Amino acid sequence: NGEKMFITNGAWADVITIFAKIDGEQFTGFIVEKGTPGMSAGKEEKKMGIHGSSTVPIILQDAKVPVENVLGEIGKGHKIAFNVLNVGRWKLGAACVGGCKQVLGHTVRYVKERKQFGQPLADFEIIQQKIADCVIRTYVTESMMYRYAGALDDAIATLEKSDADYDKKVLQMIEEYAIEASICKVYGSEAMDFVADEGVQMHGGYGYIEEYPVEAFYRNSRINRIFEGTNEINRMIIPGTLLKRAMKGEIDLMGEIQRILAQLKEGFPQESDQRTLVNRINLVNQAKKLAVYVSGVAVQKYMADIKDRQSFMVAMADFIIEVYAMESALLRALQLMKQQGEEKSRIAIAATKVYVTEKCAELLTMAKQFCANVAKGDNEAYAKYEKAIDRILEVKPIDTLDLRMPIAQHALEHDGYAV
Ligand SMILES: Cc1cc2nc3c(=O)[nH]c(=O)nc-3n(C[C@H](O)[C@H](O)[C@H](O)COP(=O)(O)OP(=O)(O)OC[C@H]3O[C@@H](n4cnc5c(N)ncnc54)[C@H](O)[C@@H]3O)c2cc1C
């Protein structure tokens, strides 16, 4: 018995998947058909957006479900629930890429048409910078989604379909990519919100009017940071899962921290010319080391209690998310360059250069702030951290404003995102 709020399409679904405890203990999945006595749908919610879907509470009052409707095994419902969530989180991120592209299409067409001060909005530098920012964010998000899907496909392809445990092994593979799924969800939903917000802004007052499609994108986008686990909860899952795996010995986090500490004495390879794409590989590798270093600083200070220090967990998640984002963009640009040459890949290359350079500079500041929080006013301890951070990651500013121009131009020529 009970009530579950906010069930998508609950009002018209013929079949509903319900997770409940048997004898108050064994968490189990059930397939429940519409019309089952004791199961009913509550009143339709009036929502901010996604008006095309139904959202209702599902109410269970002495509902009887036949034993053959148990989904999977009794007491193993969490395996199904978590894996549905994992793939669902990636799918949400991928859907956000579609949303970003749609907003870019509507916005680019609008800024080419609308004239202010005697010229199209598209001719203004600020508008061009905004368009480039939206393209860059979309490109990075798309690269992450392809990467997750490709990696999972490749992993599943190694399994033997005739194996009696094939399905179980597929579930295990999906579970292996739980961190990436959360990363895709958080990054995709925030990218979509960023692009929708800038889309409205570039429309000016018209962006606030229902008649213009960007208004609906702005409202519809907002739910993505809330459902499939809020972004706060997903941010906690990312380092939480990583630390759990490290504790079980599945990944050698402590060994990696030790290697970085040893390397600190010798110094790290730094590229003198950070303008080329290939040299961004080193920058991203160093950013990865910085993420491990700051995680090590926090773990060393708080040990097992780190999971209760939410601010540090969230900061660790942000490092991990950004490293995955930068690396995905970079790997894709390098692959495109290999496949189709530099000229045809120039937008992907420019987007990657801007993103990696600016994000690395941000991570540097974030790392110092993070360590200042850990040091808690101990100047000597902070000075040690700061010295290490500066040794690990050295970012040389490059002209990222000019790099944005061809990105914007390309979107204007193609009436939207066309990387
Ligand atoms: C339109 C819509 C459709 C939905 N569809 C479905 C569906 O089909 N099936 C389904 O099962 N659910 C569905 N949901 C539910 C949705 O997944 C939850 O609303 C969401 O996970 C957040 O839970 P909550 O609403 O209880 O918020 P709360 O858990 O109360 O969270 C409120 C705030 O507190 C934060 N918070 C919560 N716990 C912690 C913590 N431990 N530490 C730090 N911060 C915390 C959250 O991040 C959030 O910012 C839907 C919701 C909506 C609005």
The answer to the question of residue 236 being in a domain is no
Q: What are phi and psi of 6, to 5 degrees?
A: 55, 60
* Model confidence pLDDT, tens digit, residues 165-184: 999 999 899 999 999 999 99
Answer yes or no: do 216 and 291 share one domain. no
305 domain-assigned: yes
The answer to whether position 242 is within a domain reads no
| Per-residue model confidence (pLDDT) at position 274 | 62
Q: Would residue 257 count as lying in a domain?
A: yes
Q: Are residues 294 and 162 in the same domain?
A: no
Ligand 1 pocket test, candidate residues 6, 84, 237, most atoms within 8 A of CB: 6
* Cα distance between residue 290 and residue 338, in whole Å: 29
- 31 lies in which domain range? 2-71
pLDDT of residue 277: 78
Q: Cα separation of 240 and 148, whole Å?
A: 19
Strand, coil or helix: 55: strand
Residue 10 CA: nearest ligand 1 atom is 8
pLDDT at 303: 86
418 in a domain, yes or no? no
Query: Token pair 């001719």 is at which residue?
Result: 123
Q: What is the pLDDT of residue 304?
A: 83
CATH code for the domain of 34:
2.40.110.10
Tell me: do 155 and 184 sit in the same domain: yes
Identify whether residues 118 and 23 lie together within a single domain.
no
Are both 94 and 54 inside the same structural domain? no
CA atoms within 13 A on the CB side of 156: 15
Which is nearest to 417 in space by CA: 112, 152, 25, 142?
Answer: 142
Among 18, 52, 71, which residue terminates a domain? Answer: 71
Residues labelled catalytic: 228
The pLDDT of residue 204: 98
Is residue 180, in this structure, part of any structural domain at all? yes
Rounded-to-integer distance, Cα 51 and Cα 315, Å = 34
What is the CA(83)–ligand 1 centre distance, in A? 18
User: Which structure tokens are listed for 141?
Assistant: 């998000």
198: domain CATH number is 1.20.140.10
Regarding whether 259 and 225 lie in a shared domain, the answer is no
Q: Which atom of ligand 1 is least distant from the CA of 231?
A: 47
To test the pocket of ligand 1, the residue of 226, 307, 309 to mutate (highest count of ligand atoms within 8 Å of its CB) is 226
End-of-domain residue from the set 45, 71, 97: 71
What is the number of alpha carbons within 13 Å of residue 56 lying toward its C-beta? 16
Tell me whether residue 239 is in a domain. Answer: no
- How many domains does the chain contain in total? 3
| Residue 210, in any domain of the structure | yes
- CA 83-84-87 angle, to 5 degrees, is 85
pLDDT tens for each residue of the chain, 419 residues long: 999 999 999 999 999 999 999 999 999 999 999 999 999 999 999 999 999 999 999 999 999 999 999 999 999 999 889 888 999 999 999 999 999 999 999 999 999 999 999 999 999 999 999 999 999 999 999 999 999 999 999 999 999 999 999 999 998 999 999 999 999 999 999 999 999 999 999 999 999 999 999 999 999 999 999 999 999 999 999 999 999 999 999 999 989 999 999 999 888 877 666 667 777 888 999 999 999 999 999 999 998 899 899 999 999 999 999 999 999 999 999 999 999 999 999 999 999 999 999 999 999 999 999 999 999 999 999 999 999 999 999 998 889 999 999 999 999 999 999 99
**Which residue's alpha carbon is at the smallest distance from atom 50 of ligand 1?**
6
